[in-house]
Amino acid sequence: SQTIHQWPATLVQPVGSPLSLECTVEGTSNPNLYWYRQAAGRGLQLLFYSVGIGQISSEVPQNLSASRPQDRQFILSSKKLLLSDSGFYLCAWMPQGGFYEQYFGPGTRLTVT
């Protein structure tokens, strides 16, 4: 069966510090991968998605970036965090093509102070 991991679970970082969040998927190959942000009391905002290694598409211009160094690894990064980057970050995966379900990881709670 497939499993999706995210770490860390929680993170408190000062403004201006760097960020690296990691997501890995087990039990599948060549998945589509997604990063979402969920701000307090708001819906899910798609940040980045990837259909393959090194292929990243950005939905929202901001100071965040994403990378996919391996087939089942997706990393969200920032060089300098802003207060507005605080939120709940969710990684998700879905099988390529077709008409499949999307599956979510447990999330990372980021607080920028």
Partner 1 sequence: KQEVTQIPAALSVPEGENLVLNCSFTDSAIYNLQWFRQDPGKGLTSLLLIQSSQREQTSGRLNASLDKSSGRSTLYIAASQPGDSATYLCAVRPTDYGQNFVFGPGTRLSVLP
Q: Which residues bind partner 1 (CB under 8 A)?
A: 6, 32, 34, 42-44, 46, 49, 51, 59, 88, 90, 92, 94, 96-97, 99-107, 109
> Nearest Cα to 76, choosing from 3, 8, 4, 2?
8
Closer residue to partner 1 (CB): 43 or 69: 43
> Nearest Cα to 74, choosing from 17, 6, 15?
6
- Minimum distance from residue 60 beta carbon to partner 1 (Å): 12
Closer residue to partner 1 (CB): 34 or 80: 34
**DSSP classification of residue 72:** T
- Minimum distance from residue 44 beta carbon to partner 1 (Å): 4
Measured distance CA(96)–CA(29) in Å, rounded: 9
- Minimum distance from residue 69 beta carbon to partner 1 (Å): 21
Measured distance CA(12)–CA(85) in Å, rounded: 11
